[in-house]
């Protein structure tokens, strides 16, 4: 079904686009960084680009059929531990990540973003697809937190 079009009397369409999209931008280590969040009916897509680059794709299923049975016995995360990714999430590189360092960094970002999405909405079961285009292979703690904060602004 296609979205309805406004009629000549300037009525606002009653159906929305199929995907909710939000964007944020900021400077991370002096480099303009764009974040886009798209919420599709079957997946959530988050892209993080620097200098118009998009070189790595990772997916993280949130609908884990059997999360670790021990998760229920672990204390809930507080303080600095609340920033750690959820242990049952398993990022998988789909494309890119040509070096071990880039793949490791990408999977760290993907696990953290998926954890952020799951903690914002514990009932969320869609797969999260993350597209990364970071200029540097390494990220300082401050750069990592600032990037995750940009993503948080889009949720």
Say which range, 20-29, 39-48, 97-106, 139-148, has the weakest mean pLDDT: 97-106
**Mean pLDDT in residue range 101-120:** 91
| Residue 60 near residue 92 (C-beta atoms within 8 A) | yes
For residue 109, give both structure tokens: 């970002």
- Per-residue pLDDT band for 96 (boundaries 50, 70, 90) equals confident
- Per-residue pLDDT band for 100 (boundaries 50, 70, 90) equals confident
| Residue 128 near residue 59 (C-beta atoms within 8 A) | yes
**Of 57, 51, 61, 52, which Cα lies nearest the Cα of 86?**
61
Q: What average pLDDT is seen over the chain?
A: 79
Is residue 65 scored above 90 in pLDDT? no
Is residue 14 scored above 60 in pLDDT? no
| Residue 36 near residue 154 (C-beta atoms within 8 A) | yes
**Mean pLDDT in residue range 70-99:** 63
Query: Strand 20-28 relative to strand 56-61: parallel, antiparallel, unpaired?
Result: unpaired
């Amino acid at each position: 079904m296609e979205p309805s079009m406004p009629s000549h009397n300037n009525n606002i369409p009653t159906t929305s686009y199929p995907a909710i999209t939000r964007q944020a931008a900021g400077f991370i280590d002096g480099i303009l960084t764009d974040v886009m969040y798209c919420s599709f009916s079957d997946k959530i897509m988050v892209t993080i680009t620097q200098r118009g680059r998009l070189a790595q794709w990772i997916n993280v299923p949130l609908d884990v059929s059997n999360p670790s049975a021990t998760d229920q016995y672990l204390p809930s995360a507080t303080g600095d531990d609340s920033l750690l990714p959820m242990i049952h999430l398993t990022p998988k590189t789909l494309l890119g990540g040509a070096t071990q360092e880039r793949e490791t960094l990408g999977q760290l970002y993907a696990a953290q973003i998926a954890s952020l999405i799951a903690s914002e909405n514990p009932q969320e079961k869609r797969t999260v697809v993350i597209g990364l285009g970071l200029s540097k292979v390494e990220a300082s703690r401050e750069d990592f937190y600032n990037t995750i904060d940009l993503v948080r602004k889009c949720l």
